[in-house]
Each structure stands twice: as structure tokens, then as C-alpha cells.
Amino acid sequence: MDTLSQSSPADAAERLYRCGDTTGTSGRGMSVRRPTLEQVAARAKVSRGTVSRVINGSAKVSPQTREAVLQAIDELGYVPNDAARRLAAGRAGVVALVLSEERGRPFEQPYFGEIVRGISSAVSAAGIQLMLTFTHSPADRARLAHDLRTQRVDGVMVISLLRQDPLPGLLADGGVPTVTGGRPFDLAMAQTGYVDADNKGGARRATEYLIGQDRKHIATITGLRDTAVGIDRLTGYRQALAGGPELVAHGDFSEAGGATAMQELLQRESLLDAVFAANDNMAAGALRVLERQGRRVPDDVAVIGFEDSAIARHAGPALTTVHQPTERMGQEMVEMLLTRIHDTSATNRPAICNTSLVIRASA
């Protein structure tokens, strides 16, 4: 597998901070992950709870065990998460994760499982509890905002934002520390921090790659038009074309939506020879239609997706796609939220995660 990775210019607000900066970097510029509480426990051959007790100065630990833990901390270079310790000392020790989505859709997309996995691992490492909830309508969101403001919840993460979603603003107005997964629509009005992938840059690189392969009739299947991620990936496609002819079909991030959009594109443009789909789900739907129509991939039509999910690796043919570090993005959300919980003056600068193009058989 050949990987093309190249950072791209981000919006001015996004240049301030790149995903993973808080972990430090190696000489090659790659993220270096901090040692975790679990790694310390494994090195000292004790439980995670015992490590936590040593760090917090509990007397309920034998001198021999304390020495083993301290030695493991020293060997690994572990630095206790001060934000998490303060959280455990004076707050509820509970953060909420809200999926603001249509019914059933989160379970269809690998993105949600990966980002929740990252969030869950970071919350566990911080020694706090995670409350997961879903909202499906504006009334749901208003009701949930009231509940979260009045309950013992220290902070909230919201993912899968829709246009004009009132929930982050309602939470921020109520003094609840809030972080969103994905950029808000109106950055000027944003009251929360956010973590996102370089969606414009990733989509632009994918389309530029197709142009470089001498594809002449390049289409895109967009994501939902009421999501910032859908808009940004469409923008990246258009930036690559630099005013050239566009061929756009609107999808909804689902495999069925990708299949419907692919059928529409084939009816509109018989010479179509490349498609950039705004996620792997829709790309998989497009592959299915192309096979049914007797179009060879990539000989007749090249296909590129976005996310680098398991769907991309197991598609037939294996899917060329834009990789985003989804699990790391979830971990970054937790780190940002803990900072905001304990520093009310923290700025709303975003964490933008780099993307890269992963070349497989479909393009």
C-alpha cells in the first residue's frame, strides 16, 4: 500500500493548533503518545486503581507497591493528567457524549464506532465516567440541554452536528464546558472548542490525484448538505477543479445514498471516468452500482472515498481513500474538554487533524 501524505493550508482560525500537538513530536514530526495509566500499571504489575492511589498520595498502599509504581512512572516518563486529578477531586467525574443524529444513522457508519472508541479510551485513562446519549430533533436537543445544565455533568462532547443545531450554544450559554466533533457552521458565533479533520485539504488532494491520473470527467458524491463536513469536502473538490466543469450528486453518507447518487451520475454523464465520494460508505455504494452496470474499476471509472474505514480495506476492489485519524480525534476531544473544564479562560482554538491519501486498487 502506498500512502501520499501532504499537509495543506487551513483556514486562518485552524492554523493555530494541529491535532496531537499536546503530545509532543519526534524528530520525524510524528505524534508521540503519552504513556497511559494502564501502561504504568502493567509495568508495575499492579491494578490501575493502585496506580491512581499512589499518584493521589493514598496511605492505603504498601511501601513496596508504592516503590514499584514510582519506578514504573519514572521508567515510562508518565506525567499524571492534572486536569483529570482535579476533576476527580472536586467534581462529578462524569462527562457526556451526545450524538446529534437521525435515528439509526450512527450505527451505519464506521466513523461513529471509531470516534467513540477514542473517546472511551481517553475517558477511561482519565479515571472519569462517560454518559452516552442521542438526540433526534430540535425539541430533543432543547430538552437535553436543560437536563445537562441541571445534572451533575462536568462537560459535554457533541458529534455529528447538523446545520443550526442549537445544542452547543445552549450548553455554552448555560456555562457547561463543551467541545464539538467537527467545526460549527458559523465560526464567528462559535462558543465551543472543536476537533476536526482537514476535510477541505483531504478532498482537494483526492481530486487532484484523479486529475493527475488524466481523468477528464470527475464527479463527486457529497455528504449531507446540512453538515459542515459535507460542505467542506465539496469545497475541497471544487478547489482542485479550480473553476473547471463540475459534476455533483448529493448523498447522505449512507451506502444506499451513494448508490442512488452513482446511478444519477451515470445517467447524467456517459463519459464519467472518476468519482470522489465524501465517505467510504457512499464509495462502497458507488462501487456496487458500477459493478452492476458493467463498469470496470478503475479502468473505466476510478473511485476514491474518505475516512479509511474498514469498509475501504474490505471493498472489492480495495478502496483508495483519504485517511483521517478518527480514533485520535476522539481522544483529542476528551483532552480539550478536560482543559476547558478547569480553565474557563481557555480559547476556542480548534484541533485540526491532518489527512493523507491512501492508494489502493480502486484508483
Radius of gyration of the chain (CA): 22
Cis check for the bond before 177: say yes or no (omega within 30 of 0).
Answer: no
* Opening angle at CA 244, ends 240 and 248, nearest 5: 80
CATH topology of domain 37-78: 434 Repressor (Amino-terminal Domain) (1.10.260)
Q: Please tell me which residue, 245 or 169, carries the higher pLDDT value.
A: 245
Distance CA 48, CA 125 (A): 9
Of the given ranges (43-52, 108-117, 140-149, 312-321), which has the lowest mean pLDDT?
140-149
Structural element, H or E, at residue 2: strand 2-5
Q: Please tell me which residue, 286 or 22, carries the higher pLDDT value.
A: 286
Which distant-in-sequence residues (6+ apart) come within 8 Å of 96 by Cβ? Answer: 130, 131, 132, 133, 148, 153, 155, 156, 157
Distance CA 213, CA 326 (A): 28
3-state helix, strand, coil in the chain (%, to 5): 45, 20, 35
Structural element, H or E, at residue 274: strand 274-277
Distance CA 125, CA 105 (A): 28
Based on the number of CB atoms within 10 Å of its own CB, is 16 exposed (0-12), middle (13-18) or buried (19 or more)? middle
CATH topology of domain 199-323: Rossmann fold (3.40.50)
Per-residue confidence at 22, pLDDT binned at 50, 70, 90? very low
Mean pLDDT score across all residues of the chain: 83
Enumerate the β-bridge partners of residue 320: 304
Contact call for residues 9 and 354 (beta carbons, < 8 A): no
The cell for 8 is: 495543506
pLDDT at res. 288: 97
Contact call for residues 284 and 290 (beta carbons, < 8 A): no
The cell for 334 is: 476528551
Domains 2-28+89-198+326-354 and 37-78 share a fold: no
Per-residue confidence at 282, pLDDT binned at 50, 70, 90? very high
For 343, the 3-state DSSP assignment is coil
Q: What are phi and psi of 186, to 5 degrees?
A: -110, 95
Residue type, position 256, single letter: A
Q: Please tell me which residue, 337 or 169, carries the higher pLDDT value.
A: 337
> In this predicted model, what pLDDT tens digit does every residue of 104-154 receive, in sequence order?
555 678 888 899 999 999 998 888 889 988 877 767 777 787 778 777 788
Q: What are phi and psi of 61, to 5 degrees?
A: -140, 135
Distance CA 59, CA 69 (A): 14
For 205, the 3-state DSSP assignment is helix
The cell for 305 is: 472515498
Enumerate the β-bridge partners of residue 2: 359
> In this predicted model, what pLDDT tens digit does every residue of 177-206 receive, in sequence order?
899 999 887 665 567 789 999 999 999 999
CATH number of 2-28+89-198+326-354: 3.40.50.2300
Distance CA 178, CA 172 (A): 7
Work out the percent of the chain whose per-residue pLDDT is above 70.
81
Which distant-in-sequence residues (6+ apart) come within 8 Å of 253 by Cβ? Answer: 105, 109, 223, 224, 230, 278, 279, 281, 282
The DSSP call for residue 35 is: P
Report the Cα–Cα distance between both ends of the chain, in Å, rounded.
Answer: 12
Ordered by start, the domain boundaries in the chain are 2-28+89-198+326-354, 37-78, 199-323
